[in-house]
Amino acid sequence: MNTNRRTSAEILYNLLFPAIAGAGYTASLFHRKLRQAIAGRSGWRQRWSEAAGRFAARPVWFHVSSVGEFEQARPVIAALARKRPDVPVAVSFSSPSGLRFARRKEALDDRNTIKFIDYLPADFSWNARFCLDRVRPQLVVLVKFDLWPNLIWESRRQGVPVVLIDGTLSPSSHRLSAPGQWFYRSVYASLNKIIAISDSDADRFRSAVPGHPAITVAGDTRFDRVMERKRQARPVGFDVERKGRRIVIAGSTWPRDEEHLLAALAVVMKECPDTIAIIAPHEPEPDRIAALAAWADSNGFSCRRVSDGIPVPPPRVILIDAVGILAEVYRMADIAYVGGSFSTGVHSVIEPAVEGLPVLFGPVHDNSFEALRLIEAEAAFPVRDQTEIRNLLRKLLEDRSAREAAGARARRYVESQLGATEKCVEAIAEYL
C-alpha cells in the first residue's frame, strides 16, 4: 500500500470527524462520563510533550479503551517486560474509568516498564501526529476493537507498525455491514497484524479485509490475566462469614439487569433465608448504591456497603461501592450473575468462571465468545426474564451437586484457554 495515498474512506472520515466531535461535546452536556472524558483531556498536549523525557528508549505504545481492555493488555506488557526489559511502555485510554483504574494501580517508577499513562486525544489527524512525534513509538499495539482511524493511518504514514491483539469482530458488528466493510477495510488494511481471539473472529476479519497477509489466532489474554489475579489472591478489605450460607453475586449490573434480577432475588432470598446477595453495579455511583439499598430495605433485608465494613454475622445484602475488586469478590460466591446482558452486551464472564461458579446472564451475550462457549459447556445459563432467573437460582441453590458440577466445567474451560499472552508477545517481538 502506498503509505502517503489517502483512501476515500480516510478523506470522508476527516471531513466528517469535526461534526462527530462537535456532537460529542454537545452530548457531554447531558452525559456525565463524556464530560469527565473531555475535562480529563484538558492539558494533554503538555503531558504528551513531557512524556518524551520519561523514555530511555523508543517505547511500545499500547492503546486501550477502558478497564477490561487494560486488563487484557496487562499480561502482554508484563511478558514483554520479562523478554525485553529495555523497552519502555506508554498506555493511552479512551475512557475515564480505565484511566483512573490504571493510575491507581500502576506506579510509574523504575520498577515498572509502564512510564506514561494518559488519555488519547480526539482523533484528529494532527492530534495523532502530535502524539506520535512526541512519544516516537517503535510499535503501536491496539487491544480488542478500539480502533482510532487517524492514529492507525498516521502511524502507517510514519512507518510505525500497528498490531491488533485480542481482536474481536462479533457476527452482529456494524463493521460487517456494507457501509461498515467499505470504511473499515481501509482501517484493517493499515494494520500490520491482526491477532484474533478465535478462529471465527479471524474468519470475520478475513471477510472484512480480503487478502490481508497477517491475520492469525492467539486466543484471549484475559484468561491469562484472570488466572494471574486469582493466583495473586489480593485481599479486598472484607470477608463474609459463611456458616452454611450460600452467596449469589451480581457483578457489573446495569439498571436494565436489575429490573429483572432484583425481583427474582427478592423471592429466592425470602424462600431461602440462608442466602446472601452481593451486588456490584457497573458504575457504583452514590445514586445507584442508594437505589439498591432502598430495594433491600423495601424487602426487609439488612444491607451494608463494603465501604462501611461488613459485620459478623453478615447482612443479607452487601453492596460493592468500590471499583477494581470484583474479580476477587467472585471467589466468595456460589453462583454469579453477570450484567450488561439485558442492554448492550454481557460483561466479562471469565472472572466468575475461573472461581468455579455457574454463571447466569441475560439474552444479549453474543458479543462474548467465552459466554457462548460456556453455554456449550453447560457451565453458563442465559435467562430471558425474572421468572427464568428465579427458577434457575432456586434450582442451583437447592442442588449443590448440579451447582458444583457446572462450576467445575466453567473452571476447566478457563484453564483450557490459557497461553494467549506468549503468542501475542512472540507476534509483536519481530518489530522490536
* Residue showing cell 523478554: 83
* Level-2 CATH architecture, domain 8-220+419-429: 3-Layer(aba) Sandwich (3.40)
327: which residues sit within 8 A by CB, 6+ positions away?
Answer: 226, 229, 230, 351
The third-level CATH classification (topology) of the domain covering 237-416 is Rossmann fold (3.40.50)
Is pTM beyond 0.85? Reply is no
The pLDDT value recorded for residue 246 is 96
Q: How far apart are CA 176 and CA 199, in angstroms?
A: 16
Residue spans of the domains in the chain: they are 8-220+419-429, 237-416
Contacts of 47 (CB under 8 A, 6+ apart): 118
Say if CB 386 and CB 261 are below 8 A apart. Answer: yes
Q: What is the pLDDT of residue 27?
A: 80
Instruction: Report strand pairing: 317-319 vs 275-281.
Output: parallel
Rg (CA), the chain: 22
CA distance 58 to 60: 7
Burial class (CB in 10 A: 0-12, 13-18, 19+), 386: middle
**What is d(CA 124, CA 294) in angstroms, rounded to the nearest whole number?**
45
Torsional class of 422: left (φ above 0), alpha (ψ -120 to 50), beta (otherwise): alpha
Mean pLDDT by 10 residues, the chain (432 residues): 74 90 82 82 93 92 92 94 95 91 85 93 95 96 95 96 94 90 94 95 95 95 91 83 94 96 97 96 93 97 94 95 88 96 92 97 90 96 97 96 97 95 94 93
pLDDT of 3 reads 56
Say yes or no: do domains 8-220+419-429 and 237-416 share a fold.
yes
